[in-house]
Amino acid sequence: MALKMAYETWGEGPHPLLLLHGFTGNRSSFEHLRPLMSDKVRVISVDLPGHGQTPLPTRTGRDGFLETIEALFGVMDEVGVARTNLLGYSQGARFALAAALTRPERFGRLIMESGSPGLHRRQHRTERRVSDAQLAAMIRQKGVPAFVAYWESLPLFAGVRKLPAEQQESVRARRLECTADGLVGALECLGLAVQPDYWPELQRQRLPTLLLTGALDEKFTQIARRMAEDLPVVWRRTFEDCTHAPHLEAPEEYAREVLSFLQTPWYEAPEFESSTPDKSAAGGHG
């Protein structure tokens, strides 16, 4: 039986937008952006496998990763959306890129926040497999609450720890809804260790693409710089004083950037193939 994803829809605007959350998130991860964006977008927000109400793929490893991509198209078909824009955060950004490369005709514009095309070297893939296995063992042995405490303490999320207490608690509650089986299965089926290496594919990714990172997240900002060198039609935006999750750390600025990108008329296909913009490290789409 094919994998079916849980999802919700919101917004009444003219721009369709498929939202893909990060590891330990779910389809409510972008809910705080709803008041800022709902009059401009029509959102489909999904639970990725092992999160929320979506089960794990029926297959394991890389086959599970590819099955997840196909399930995204199943959601679009069920909602009746032939073509949409695509926004993914972290884990979700990797899937957004994978989906755009798999069936580019189903998407208009691609937004990747704190994402990666994968691991290019076999040694790095092996190291990540070991790291993910250790993380999975920790989740199994110590449970989700202990894992969440560890996860939230990582330098990657320093900016989230500066949010108001109520907002931090909302993020924590969402993470605590995860199950050990779901998180472990997600690491095994959706993680970087099993994801195909999409670095060589970037040059054929012709969709207009916006890369978003936090300026204090040096690793993913550097990855975005490297991606921008290969992507044919690309813009980058770094958010000052943000780490790995600008959508949480600077929501109003983030929403303005996303809407500016979606609303700029120039981006409409197929015209984008006839001219290539200057690549910039700053924002500004008009």
pLDDT recorded at residue 267 = 45
pLDDT recorded at residue 266 = 62
* Burial class of residue 222, CB neighbours in 10 A (0-12, 13-18, 19+): exposed
Q: Give the residues of the chain that fall short of pLDDT 50.
A: 267-286
Provide the CB-side half-sphere exposure for 47 (13 A, CA): 23
pLDDT recorded at residue 265 = 80
pLDDT recorded at residue 286 = 39
C-alpha–C-alpha distance, residues 26 and 50, integer Å:
9
Q: How much is the pTM? A: 0.92
pLDDT recorded at residue 53 = 97
pLDDT recorded at residue 279 = 44
C-alpha–C-alpha distance, residues 197 and 179, integer Å:
28
Residue with tokens 């600077």: 250
pLDDT recorded at residue 121 = 85
C-alpha–C-alpha distance, residues 12 and 113, integer Å:
23
C-alpha–C-alpha distance, residues 93 and 16, integer Å:
17
The CA-based angle 210-231-239, given to 5 degrees, is 30
For the CA atoms of 71, 234, 37, 70, what is the dihedral angle to 10 degrees? 0
pLDDT recorded at residue 277 = 44
Strand 41-46 and strand 209-214: the pairing is: unpaired
Residue closest to 117 by CA, chosen among 218, 226, 219: 226
| Tens-place pLDDT, residues 222-239 | 999 999 999 999 999 999
